[in-house]
């Protein structure tokens, strides 16, 4: 039978205690980050809906399979540029038409070219196809490679090509400009776990609906209200 010295046992007990103490603290910090992102996503979505230049978005968001809301995507550059940020994703149930609870993601891209300065942009993406949804549910995918993406039209009555994902962006009153084509989208496992209190993946959240959190109800209500069928005015 193996024997262990008191020093060995003490060190292992200390290590276990450290894990037990640090994990709740880390989850609490991640919960705060998730709640802050959720609050910012709600503000961003409501601003898009209220924007008079976002008529096409407002009229057609009801047809989206899912919405990806990324408040304050940061674009930086000096010779080599990059863009990235965190995002909240809500998906619509195909049977009931109800909007489910959010999954948290991150996006990042690197581009070459002469770029100087920085820009913060709010981005919303509408996932329009089954292929787009399948990409979103994977462990990682690249916009433009694993799912086609195009800039969404500004204004009303505009025509748009058939793509998997439409991107809309706003930066200090400037529409368009930033493109996330080439960005790699991955789930934020840390934020998802902290927000729902257990390890959970995007399929569980967006498709199976195995977890809920009432802190997301304000955003869900905002999206549901915006996606109600609008009456045709004569």
Which residues lie closer than 8 Å to 165 by C-beta, 6 or more apart? 68, 125, 126, 127, 128, 132, 143, 147, 148, 149, 150
Can you tell me whether residue 209 is helix, strand or coil? Answer: coil
Looking at the predicted structure, is the pLDDT value of residue 56 above 80?
yes
pTM comes to 0.78
pLDDT of 109 reads 58
Instruction: Provide the pLDDT confidence category of residue 174 given band limits of 50, 70 and 90.
Output: very low
Looking at the predicted structure, is the pLDDT value of residue 26 above 70?
no
Ranking 1-10, 49-58, 145-154 by mean pLDDT, the lowest is 1-10
For residue 222, give both structure tokens: 């905002």
Ranking 14-18, 45-49, 188-192, 221-225 by mean pLDDT, the lowest is 14-18
The Cα angle at residue 13 between residues 7 and 17, in degrees rounded to 5: 145
Looking at the predicted structure, is the pLDDT value of residue 229 above 60?
no
For residue 96, give both structure tokens: 């009931």
CA-nearest of 60, 88, 90 to 163 is 60
pLDDT of 181 reads 73
Q: CB–CB of 48/124 below 8 Å?
A: yes
Looking at the predicted structure, is the pLDDT value of residue 161 above 70?
no
pLDDT of 172 reads 53
Higher pLDDT, 40 or 181: 40
pLDDT tens by residue, 104-127: 998 875 444 434 445 667 889 999
For residue 69, give both structure tokens: 């809301």
């Amino acid at each position: 039978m193996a024997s262990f010295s008191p020093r060995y046992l003490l060190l292992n007990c200390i290590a276990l205690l450290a894990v037990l103490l640090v994990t709740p603290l880390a989850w609490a910090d991640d919960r705060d980050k998730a709640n802050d992102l959720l609050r910012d996503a709600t503000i961003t979505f409501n601003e898009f809906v209220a924007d008079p230049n976002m008529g096409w978005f407002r009229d057609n968001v009801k047809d989206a399979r899912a919405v990806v809301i990324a408040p304050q995507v940061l674009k930086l550059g000096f010779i080599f540029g990059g863009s990235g940020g965190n995002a909240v994703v809500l998906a619509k149930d195909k049977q009931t038409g109800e909007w489910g609870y959010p999954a948290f993601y991150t996006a990042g891209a690197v581009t070459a070219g002469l770029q100087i300065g920085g820009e913060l942009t709010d981005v919303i993406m509408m996932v329009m196809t089954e292929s787009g949804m399948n990409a979103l549910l994977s462990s990682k995918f690249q916009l433009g490679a694993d799912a086609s993406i195009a800039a969404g039209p500004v204004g009303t009555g505009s025509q748009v090509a058939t793509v998997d994902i439409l991107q809309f962006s706003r930066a200090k009153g400037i529409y368009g400009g930033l493109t996330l084509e080439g960005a790699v989208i991955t789930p934020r496992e840390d934020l998802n776990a902290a927000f729902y209190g257990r390890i959970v993946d995007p399929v569980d959240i967006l498709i199976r609906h195995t977890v809920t959190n009432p802190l997301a109800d304000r955003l869900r209500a905002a999206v549901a209200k915006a996606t109600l069928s609008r009456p045709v005015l004569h």
